[in-house]
Amino acid sequence: MQVGPLKPSLAETLRTDYQAYTLPNGNQRDAFLADHADDITAIVVSGVTRVEPDLLAALPNLKAVVNFGVGYDNIDVDAAAARGIGVSNTPDVLDDCVADTAVGLLIDTMRRFSAADRYARAGRWAADGSYPLTQQVSGSHVGILGLGRIGGAIATRLRAFGCPISYHNRRQLPDSPYRYLGSPVELAREVRVLVVAAAGGSGTRHLVDRAVLDALGPDGYLVNIARGSVVDQDALVDALVHGRLAGAGLDVFADEPNIPSELTALDNVVLLPHVGSGTVQTRAAMEALVLQNLDGFLRSGRLVTPVADQPS
């Protein structure tokens, strides 16, 4: 059963090749579940759809939740595990695109390319003269919060820019070539740019709080390609509005798709509508991995990339 919106080609495949149901919204839902709940063994969702314990409880034969996306903070994994329901995601295949997005955001934020583009389009080059000088990216000390697969891909790219890399992670990684710092505040204090690449969920909620932003300071930049929940957005807005942070590049927000008006009013932030993995190639790879998981489950009861097998 499809739950919530999916990539159109995936929804079409589910309908035509798997005869999948689509969970209706609103007042049709109860009648639908009364008729079909017993038939459903697997559901397919994307990151924008929350899978709450009450949906799991309403599907007595559910055994698999197949998620389109690497992050699975939209799913109550503990409630699923307690019911013997496996959960899969789409790791690895989007690392490169999300890392590209992080580096693009970082460069855009420090060099203010989007703002300079607005300046050029508004005719201000001719009217007001040269665009103000910005900040050099190459050689800037970058801190990565969450050195998982995506964080690692970001670090690899930034090494080519001559950027010293430090990181904070729940665990220090013994083979990492990068400098480990014991807390987000210590990391923020050391670096010019803090890139958030930690998974979302209750364990990382507001890991970047006011203290971390103040440690980053008025010359510091924040880039977030992970989840809006990892950053205290009110504290971020306050720091940006009052000049306690130099700028921010954000692909994710606390309450997507809503962006606070204070942020859209600022010229020193770059705002993207959660496009980190949004390329034709990567979304096709994610779609293929979703179907591999579904097929693995339907054929043998085994998900190909269960979240339980991945470092949390």
User: Contact between 284 and ligand 8YV (CB under 6 A)?
Assistant: no
- To the nearest 10 degrees (0 to 180), the angle between helices 280-300 and 95-111 is 150
Q: Which region among 62-70, 113-121, 159-167, 231-239 touches ligand 8YV (by CB under 6 A)?
A: 62-70
Q: Which is nearer to ligand 8YV, 48 or 107 (CB)?
A: 48
**Shortest separation between residue 265's beta carbon and ligand 8YV, angstroms:** 26
Site string for ligand 8YV, 79-98 (x = CB under 6 A): ---------------x----
Return the residues of window 244-283 that contact ligand 8YV according to CB under 6 A: 274, 276-277
Residue pair 211/185 in contact by the 8 Å Cβ criterion: yes
Q: Which is nearer to ligand 8YV, 146 or 276 (CB)?
A: 276
Is 274 an annotated catalytic residue? yes
Among 48, 79, 116, 284, binds ligand 8YV (CB under 6 A): 48
User: Contact between 71 and ligand 8YV (CB under 6 A)?
Assistant: yes
User: Contact between 151 and ligand 8YV (CB under 6 A)?
Assistant: no
Q: Which is nearer to ligand 8YV, 94 or 222 (CB)?
A: 94
- To the nearest 10 degrees (0 to 180), the angle between helices 95-111 and 113-121 is 60
Is 36 an annotated catalytic residue? no
Return the residues of window 3-42 that contact ligand 8YV according to CB under 6 A: none
Q: How many CB atoms lie within 10 A of CB 121?
A: 9
User: Contact between 68 and ligand 8YV (CB under 6 A)?
Assistant: yes
Region of 223 (left: φ > 0; alpha: ψ -120 to 50; beta: rest) is beta
User: Contact between 290 and ligand 8YV (CB under 6 A)?
Assistant: no
Closest by CA to 106, choosing from 245, 275, 225, is 225
List Cβ neighbours of 50 (8 Å cut-off, separation of 6 or more). Answer: 74, 75
Q: How far apart are CA 105 and CA 112, in angstroms?
A: 10
Q: Which is nearer to ligand 8YV, 193 or 199 (CB)?
A: 199
Q: Residues 207-244, buried b or exposed e (16+ Cβ, 10 A)? A: bbbeebbbbbeeebbbbbbbbbbbbbbebbbebbeeeb
**Shortest separation between residue 89's beta carbon and ligand 8YV, angstroms:** 7
Strand order in the sheet with 221-224: 179-180, 165-168, 142-145, 193-196, 221-224, 247-250, 269-271
Q: Which is nearer to ligand 8YV, 163 or 285 (CB)?
A: 285
Is 141 an annotated catalytic residue? no
Sign of CA dihedral 286, 292, 297, 303: negative
Residues acting as catalytic residues: 227, 256, 274
* Binding interface with ligand 8YV (CB under 6 A): 46-48, 68-71, 94, 274, 276-277
